[in-house]
Amino acid sequence: MNIVVLIKQVPAVSSIDIDSKNNNLVRVGAPSMLNPVDLNAVEAAVDIKEAAGSGTVTLISMGTAMAADVLREGMALGADHGILLSDERMAGSDTLATGKILARAIRKVGDVDLVLTGKQSSDGDTGQIPPAIAQHLGVNLVSYAESVTVKDGVLVATRKNHGGLQTVEAQLPAVCSVMETANTPRTPNIRSKMHAKQAVFDVWRLEDIGLDPAEAGTAGSATKVTELFAPEKHAIGTMITGANEAEAVHNLIAELTAKKVL
C-alpha cells in the first residue's frame, strides 16, 4: 500500500498582512503551522498502513523551505518520507495551477494507491484541491470522509449526507479528503520526534516533475484576487414574541402589515 498525504503550511494567526500589489497573503515572516485537518489525513494514512501490516506513507507539501517544519511534524506521526515542492515559480499559484503541480508530483512518486488530504486548508478554504487532483490523475474521488478504511483494494468511507450517514466504496487508486472528526491524531513520542528532526527531504522544482513554468504560479493561474473586503454587516432580525403561539402569530401579522408586506 503506497499512500501519499498532501499537507500544507498555513498562517498560525487569523489576521495577517496582505500584499497590496497582488492581494495575496504575505507568508514570509508570518507565524505558521500545519493545516489542522491535515493531521487527521496523516493519522488516517498511518492507521491504514498499520492495519495492512505494510506500506509506505509519503508526505508532499508545496511551499518555501519553511514548509519542511510541517513535513517533520507529519513524519513524527508515523509517515515514512517527505517531499517538498519548492520553486519560486510556483508562488502565486491558484487552485488550478496548484492542482497540476501536486498531481505531477504524485505521478513522479509512482504506483500510488491512495492520496489522502484534509477537507480543505484554513487559509484558502476552497476544498478544490482534492477533486482537482482526482481529475488530473483520472482516479476515483471520495470527499469529506468521517472514517476511512481499505479492504481488498477498495476504499470504504463513511460520510455525512443530509443529516444521515452514507457509506461509500471506491476502487483504488483513489483520492480521499477527510474531516477533522475522522480520527484523533496520535501524540508523537520522543523517538519519533527525533527521527523526524533528522529526516532529509527531497526538494523538487518544476523541472523535476516535468511541468512547464507557464502552467505554474501566476502564469498558470486562471484566477487572481482583484479586491479584498470585509463582508457587509446585515441588520439583526426582529424577534416576534407572544404569551402563546396564537398571540405570537397575531403580532407577526401586525408587524408584516405595518411594513406593508401583507
Give pLDDT tens digits for 192-222.
999 999 999 999 999 999 999 999 999 999 9
**C-alpha–C-alpha distance, residues 252 and 238, integer Å:** 10
Is pLDDT at 93 greater than 80 in this prediction?
yes
245 and 145 belong to one structural domain: no
* Mean per-residue pLDDT, 112-131: 87
pLDDT on residue 17: 56
Other CB atoms within 10 Å distance of the CB of residue 141: 17
Residue 221 domain-assigned?
Answer: no
Is pLDDT at 23 greater than 80 in this prediction?
no
117 and 198 belong to one structural domain: yes
Give pLDDT tens digits for 142-199.
999 999 999 999 999 999 888 888 999 999 999 999 999 999 999 999 999 999 999 9
39 and 143 belong to one structural domain: yes
Residue 113 domain-assigned?
Answer: yes
Give pLDDT tens digits for 214-249.
999 999 999 887 777 677 887 778 889 999 999 999
51 and 112 belong to one structural domain: yes
pLDDT on residue 160: 84
Burial of 152 (0-12, 13-18, 19+ CB in 10 A): exposed
Share of the chain above pLDDT 90, in %: 73
Is pLDDT at 114 greater than 60 in this prediction?
yes
Query: In terms of pLDDT, which residue wins out, 24 or 117?
Result: 117
181 and 237 belong to one structural domain: no
104 and 203 belong to one structural domain: yes
Residue 220 domain-assigned?
Answer: no
Which grid coordinates are listed for 162?
443530509
Give pLDDT tens digits for 41-90.
999 999 999 999 999 999 999 999 989 999 999 999 999 999 999 999 99
11 and 94 belong to one structural domain: yes
CA trace torsion 51, 53, 55, 58 (10° rounding): 50
Residue 224 domain-assigned?
Answer: no
pLDDT on residue 148: 95
249 and 154 belong to one structural domain: no
Owning domain of residue 261: 230-262
pLDDT on residue 198: 92
Residue 16 domain-assigned?
Answer: yes
How many domains does one find in the chain? 2
Phi/psi at 102 (nearest 5 deg)?
-65, -40
158 and 260 belong to one structural domain: no
The CATH number for 193's domain is: 3.40.50.620
Our CA angle for 152, 158, 159, nearest 5°, is 145
